[in-house]
């Protein structure tokens, strides 16, 4: 999505009087997702504690590194495996190394893949492997191109020897939309299931489960081992996360990735320090922004980032004694 971005440079803004607020753009995730809510909450915290005006725009795990590297957004949510790939110019960024990417904080807001189907559909009695390998003619809601959801969905299809063309030839149909649109399509019974990637609990999945009974399907071990080659981890959707789900009392195995707050080397060191300090000096506020941040620990925020720390952020972690 193209949005109006800031029209003045950071250097010019830093020359403004202390009473003036900096204006920055933060690319998050799709509307209705955890990243969008988290970015909005952090933007409000930075407005209060650091006098920064931040505009949050929709984005995605795959496209955010590109937007930040190009300067179309000063801050972005990122996924460590994709940030690492962007730095190296590897899939899905072949030939386009983004060496300016840096991190302010990470090891937070674990994002979890959800593959759920209507509990009244025949797919509720199948495993994920049976659906993919069997090329079942289901109607499936997925995210729009350029999202991390789709990047991983395509890795899953590749593992099972599938392509969009193959599956559509077998009768499958794909609905591409935002998380909110996915939930609406599911509740209206326009799709049989959804493949989506959200921090727990996913608001759009909670909404979908209230409007129609759904069943969460587990990721099989061989698939998790394959996805591990791309930096994804094994995790769970704990029992009780979605009380309205047909199997809401069960723990469901899935694939996960953490979150990194990403900037570039073009961000002045003092500004990077200020943002890092404002967030990490207020951990109780951060933890209340979203359920997935409940266990956020500033002392571990410099770990598992996917890209190097920005010097301004590194200064903060060293001052606090977290980074030796």
Q: What is the pLDDT of residues 134-175, one digit of tens each?
A: 999 999 999 988 788 898 999 999 999 999 999 999 999 999
Q: For the chain, where do the domains classified as CATH 3.40.190.10 start and end?
A: 10-108+259-320, 111-257
Strand-strand pairing, 173-176 and 75-78: unpaired
The number of residues making up the chain comes to 324
CATH class of 10-108+259-320: alpha beta
Q: What is the pLDDT of residue 236?
A: 94
Q: Which residues are within 8 A (CB) of 212 and not within 5 positions of it... i.e. 6 or more apart?
A: 118, 186, 187, 189
Cα(97)–Cα(101) distance, integer angstroms: 10
- Residue 135: closest CA among 116, 176, 163: 163
The pLDDT value given to residue 78: 95
Q: What integer pLDDT is reported at residue 21 of this predicted model?
A: 61
Instruction: Tell me the pLDDT tens digit for each residue of 14-48.
Output: 444 443 567 999 999 888 888 999 999 999 999 99
Predicted TM-score of the model (pTM): 0.75
DSSP string, 106-137: EEEEEEEEEEEEETTSGGGGS-HHHHHHTT--
How many H-runs (helices) and E-runs (strands) does the chain carry? 13, 10
Q: Any idea of the CA torsion for 268, 271, 277, 279, to the nearest 10 degrees?
A: -120
Rounded average pLDDT per 10-residue block, the chain, 324 residues: 38 42 89 90 97 95 95 96 93 93 94 96 98 97 88 94 96 95 96 93 92 96 92 92 96 94 98 98 96 93 94 98 94
**Is 111-257 CATH 1.10.274.10?**
no
- pLDDT for position 34: 87
Contact between residue 58 and residue 36 where contact means Cβ atoms under 8 Å apart: yes
Query: What's the gap between Cα 42 and its chain centre?
Result: 15
């Amino acid at each position: 999505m193209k949005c109006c971005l800031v029209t003045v440079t950071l250097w010019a803004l830093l020359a403004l009087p202390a009473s003036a607020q900096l204006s920055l753009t933060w690319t998050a995730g799709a509307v209705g997702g955890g990243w969008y809510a988290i970015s909005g909450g952090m933007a409000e915290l930075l407005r209060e504690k650091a006098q920064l005006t931040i505009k949050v725009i929709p984005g995605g795990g795959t496209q955010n590194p590109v937007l930040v590297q190009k300067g179309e957004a000063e801050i972005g949510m990122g996924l460590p495996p994709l940030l690492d790939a962007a730095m190296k110019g590897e899939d899905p960024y072949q030939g386009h190394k983004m060496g300016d990417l840096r991190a302010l904080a990470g090891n937070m807001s674990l994002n979890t893949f959800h593959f759920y189907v209507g509990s009244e559909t025949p797919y509720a009695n199948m495993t994920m492997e049976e659906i993919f390998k069997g090329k079942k003619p289901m109607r499936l809601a997925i995210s729009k191109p350029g999202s991390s959801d789709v990047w991983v969905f395509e890795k899953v299809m590749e593992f099972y020897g599938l392509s969009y063309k193959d599956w559509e030839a077998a009768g499958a149909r794909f609905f591409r939309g935002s998380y909110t649109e996915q939930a609406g399509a599911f509740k209206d019974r326009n799709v049989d299931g959804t493949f989506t990637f959200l921090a727990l609990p996913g608001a759009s999945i909670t909404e979908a489960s209230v409007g129609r009974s759904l069943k969460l399907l587990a990721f099989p071990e061989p698939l998790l081992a394959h996805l591990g080659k791309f930096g994804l981890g094994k995790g769970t959707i704990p029992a009780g996360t979605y009380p309205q789900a047909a199997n809401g009392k069960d723990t469901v195995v899935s694939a996960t990735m953490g979150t990194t707050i990403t900037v570039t080397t073009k961000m002045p060191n003092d500004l990077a320090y200020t943002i890092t300090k404002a967030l990490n000096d207020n951990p109780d506020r951060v933890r209340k922004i979203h359920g997935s941040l409940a266990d956020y620990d500033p002392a571990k925020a410099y770990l598992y980032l996917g890209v190097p720390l920005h010097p301004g952020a590194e200064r903060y972690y060293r001052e606090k004694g977290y980074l030796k």
